[in-house]
Amino acid sequence: MRAGSLEFENRLTEFEARQSPEGLLKRYARQRLSFFWFRQIFVLGGAAVLFLTGHPLAGGVALLTLLLGDLLDCAYLAGVPRRLAAGAPVKRLYFVSTLTAAVQALTTVLLIGLPIALSGGAETLAFAFAFIAGGGINSSYLYSFHRAATLVRLAVLLASGVGVMAHAWLAGSVSPEGQLYGLFAFAMTLFLNYTFLQHSRRSIAHKTQSAHRLLEQSQKLALTNTMLHAHQSEMRRLALVAQNANDSVFVADPEGRILWVNAAFTRLTGYSAQEAVGQRPADLLNAPTTDPATSEAIRTAITQGRPLRSEILNARKDGSEVWVETNQVPVLDANGAVEMVIAVERDISAAKHHEEELARAKHSAEEGERAKAQFLATMSHEIRTPMNGIIGMADLLRDSGLAKEQRSYVETIRYSAEALMRIINDILDFSKLDAGKSVICPVDFELLPCVESALSILRPKALEKQIYVDLTCATPLPPLVRGDDGRIRQIILNIVGNAIKFTQQGGVTLDLSCTTSPEGHSLTLAVTDTGIGIPADRVDLIFDQFSQADGAITREFGGTGLGLTISRILAREMGGDIAIRSVLGEGSTFTITLKLAQALTPAPDEAQPREAGSADNVIKLPGVKALVAEDNLTNQLLMKSFLKSTEMDVIYARNGREAVRLARRHAPRVIFMDMSMPEMDGLSATRKIRADPSLVQPTIVALTANVYASDKAACLSAGMDGFLSKPLKRAELMGWLNQI
């Protein structure tokens, strides 16, 4: 590009130099010099005429004079380039060359005037005007190069013509007719000279313009050439890039037939350029398992001139399959029609395999998670059911009038079974929470009774240790709130249970306070004990799963190290947290904060669902029909003994189907429905009973070993009124019967 413009600039400079005053002067000098001998031929001819007409001396003088005049002019002009190069001013050279031209022109007067002065005939007029015409044409030719010299020459020639005519008229040597012819010849000479002058001027101007135009066109051509060259080298570079790219590239025509492929295409597919050109990619590369929809989408995008990025399964020449990511870009012509399509393809088989492996791993992880959840549910049920039997039977045994020693053995069985239940509950709870499952099942409930019921479970232990358990309320409490009362009770049992466990003297205080805003209630429970306290460096660790503050001391007290972990997760699930302040040897304060929602039901009495209250006194409902749907015979036995004192009319079903049938036949007031039963489970049986319009609807209470929020929610949505958790407790059962 630079070489082209340099060449053009040189030519332009050269052109401008030729058109400059200096250049024109040089060209004038050159022209005058090159036609010197040509002019002398005419001078010699004129002198020869004088010689032949009997005036040899005049001929010789004229020849010599004219020769000298021209020599003087040419001698000066020959030195012009040198003088210019030496820095002589152009104006001066121009002026001097005009003077030498005048001198040269004046010498010609001799040859024009001598014939008429010597002979005086009309024929000499013709000679004079012929000479003037020749001289004039010769001078006019260089008008465009040296205007002053040309005009001086023409003026001298014109003046000599006028002089010749004046002489002929004054001397009377020419007849009036001859004078008239002469005058006409002179006029013609002038016209001829004028015409030639104009012609010469125009032709030189035209030549100059043409040269300039040519130069301009050359410039455009040079520019176009340069651009073409740049374009070509870019094309070459791009072709080189495409050819050597690592990705497979092919170019196809608008019908989708391959026009060109690069080396990577051959490496990827196994097809050489000769084999690929002219083929449609789909015909060449589609595997039997290629998704026809993807193939069709690519074809449609190409014909519609749309770019497309897609993943497709291809087959190589050897039949092996390869996943490629194809990127098709149409190249459109000026009218927007597809001119060709460029496709860049990349082997993504490794990424695809990785993706498939990940999907498989995710699937099996989900499967594992499902299996784990199923296992937990089964475990929960399978462990609770026999535990229910152990605890229930121990209760019955305790109340069967045993001797003191025997009674203490039974108490130990019961205590151990309950301790085992707590551990199992903790582990199952933790597994569920650890898997990120929400266990919160919100219901409307009364706050104070909830807290008190938890404390009432713990008080006997405190009494045993002769330490106090106080409950204080710093603020008025809302009668009804919405949250998971079971989980709140679980937290209190854990924290206050720990406080009692780790306090030997003094006692435990639970300070309750609650603030209410339109968003809900913020509940704070501060549990302060005067127990052993926790070493400062262990405070942050005791929330870690299976972690205890001091192995030696806590070994004495037992525990799994899961209680606080679960309590904190539960508190956080309820939008709160648990914080600790503790001084070793002085005691600890566990502050539990919880967020509770506004209750949906206004009246506390109607709060649903009703969970078992406690009624230690025996309820008597003589003749009231109750249906117990329970497949496990131990549990049936337990229910039978619990309900015996109520004098109710109890019937038993061993599966859900039988429960529905007996409910239709006997229309019981209350049904205790086990959830897991053969043939038809408790949920389906409940739905069937609730859907039967012919039945007076009974109260249905679930008997469930499943303790998760999802199980509780399932019971409620199936139409049950509440639930009794296994292992069954007589007091809870009586609490329910108290409410029907």
Which positions lie near ligand ADP, rule CB under 6 A? 494, 498-499, 502, 529, 531-534, 542, 548-550, 554, 559-565, 588
Q: How far is the CB of 527 from ligand ADP (least distance, A)?
A: 8
Residue 156 vs 499, nearer CB to ligand ADP: 499
Residues 6+ apart with CB under 8 A from 726: 384, 385, 387, 388, 635, 703, 704, 705
In DSSP terms, 528 is beta-bridged to 509, 589
Rounded CA-CA distance 29/368 in Å is 108
Q: How far is the CB of 510 from ligand ADP (least distance, A)?
A: 12
Q: Contact at 8 Å (CB) between 118 and 88?
A: no
Beta strands in 36-143 (DSSP E): none
Q: How far is the CB of 441 from ligand ADP (least distance, A)?
A: 23
Residues 6+ apart with CB under 8 A from 74: 32, 33, 36
Tokens of 35: 């036609």
Q: How far is the CB of 558 from ligand ADP (least distance, A)?
A: 7
Rounded CA-CA distance 486/75 in Å is 131
Residue 462 vs 564, nearer CB to ligand ADP: 564
Q: How far is the CB of 543 from ligand ADP (least distance, A)?
A: 7
Residue 532 vs 648, nearer CB to ligand ADP: 532
Residues 6+ apart with CB under 8 A from 143: 150, 151, 197, 200, 201, 204
Q: Contact at 8 Å (CB) between 588 and 533?
A: yes
Q: How far is the CB of 414 from ligand ADP (least distance, A)?
A: 20
Residue 107 vs 565, nearer CB to ligand ADP: 565
Residue 256 vs 559, nearer CB to ligand ADP: 559
Rounded CA-CA distance 158/132 in Å is 8
Q: How far is the CB of 497 from ligand ADP (least distance, A)?
A: 8
Q: How far is the CB of 544 from ligand ADP (least distance, A)?
A: 9
Residue 173 vs 490, nearer CB to ligand ADP: 490
In DSSP terms, 527 is beta-bridged to 510, 590
Which residue's CB comes closest to ligand ADP?
Answer: 559
Q: How many Cβ atoms from other residues are within 10 Å of residue 455's Cβ?
A: 18
Q: Name the DSSP class of 286.
A: B
Residue 81 vs 561, nearer CB to ligand ADP: 561
Q: How far is the CB of 542 from ligand ADP (least distance, A)?
A: 4
Q: How far is the CB of 389 from ligand ADP (least distance, A)?
A: 26
Residue 457 vs 597, nearer CB to ligand ADP: 457
Residue 135 has φ and ψ, to the nearest 5°, of -60, -40
Q: How far is the CB of 429 from ligand ADP (least distance, A)?
A: 12
Residue 399 vs 434, nearer CB to ligand ADP: 434
The CA-atom distances, in angstroms, between 688 and each of 277, 676, 682, 720 are 71, 16, 10, 12
- For residue 574, the one-letter residue type is M
Residue 74 vs 500, nearer CB to ligand ADP: 500
Q: How far is the CB of 582 from ligand ADP (least distance, A)?
A: 7
Q: How far is the CB of 456 from ligand ADP (least distance, A)?
A: 20
Rounded CA-CA distance 566/580 in Å is 15
**DSSP of 164-222, one letter per residue?**
HHHHHHHH--S-HHHHHHHHHHHHHHHHHHHHHHHHHHHHHHHHHHHHHHHHHHHHHHH
Residue with tokens 């205080």: 509
Q: How far is the CB of 373 from ligand ADP (least distance, A)?
A: 24
Residue 560 vs 738, nearer CB to ligand ADP: 560
Q: How far is the CB of 324 from ligand ADP (least distance, A)?
A: 56
Torsion-angle region of 475 (φ positive above 0: left; ψ -120 to 50: alpha; else: beta):
beta
Per-residue three-class SS string for 725-737: ECCCCHHHHHHHH
Residue 7 vs 540, nearer CB to ligand ADP: 540
Residues 6+ apart with CB under 8 A from 248: 261, 262, 264, 265, 267, 268, 269, 324, 344, 345, 346, 347
Residue 444 vs 529, nearer CB to ligand ADP: 529
Residue 478 vs 563, nearer CB to ligand ADP: 563
Tokens of 90: 């152009």
Q: Name the DSSP class of 606.
A: G
Q: How far is the CB of 453 from ligand ADP (least distance, A)?
A: 20
Q: What angle do CA 548, 550, 551 make, to 5 degrees?
A: 80
Residue 70 vs 529, nearer CB to ligand ADP: 529
**DSSP of 3-66, one letter per residue?**
HHHHHHHHHHHHHHHHHSHHHHHHHHHHHHHHTHHHHHHHHHHHHHHHHHTT-HHHHHHHHHHH
Residue 328 vs 425, nearer CB to ligand ADP: 425
Query: How many CA atoms lie less than 13 Å away from 256 in the CB half-sphere?
Result: 18
Q: How many Cβ atoms from other residues are within 10 Å of residue 636's Cβ?
A: 18
Rounded CA-CA distance 111/63 in Å is 8
Q: How far is the CB of 425 from ligand ADP (least distance, A)?
A: 12
Rounded CA-CA distance 631/188 in Å is 147
Residue 520 vs 559, nearer CB to ligand ADP: 559
Tokens of 210: 């043409």
Helix axes 122-140, 176-244, angle to 10 degrees: 20
Residue 648 has φ and ψ, to the nearest 5°, of -80, 160
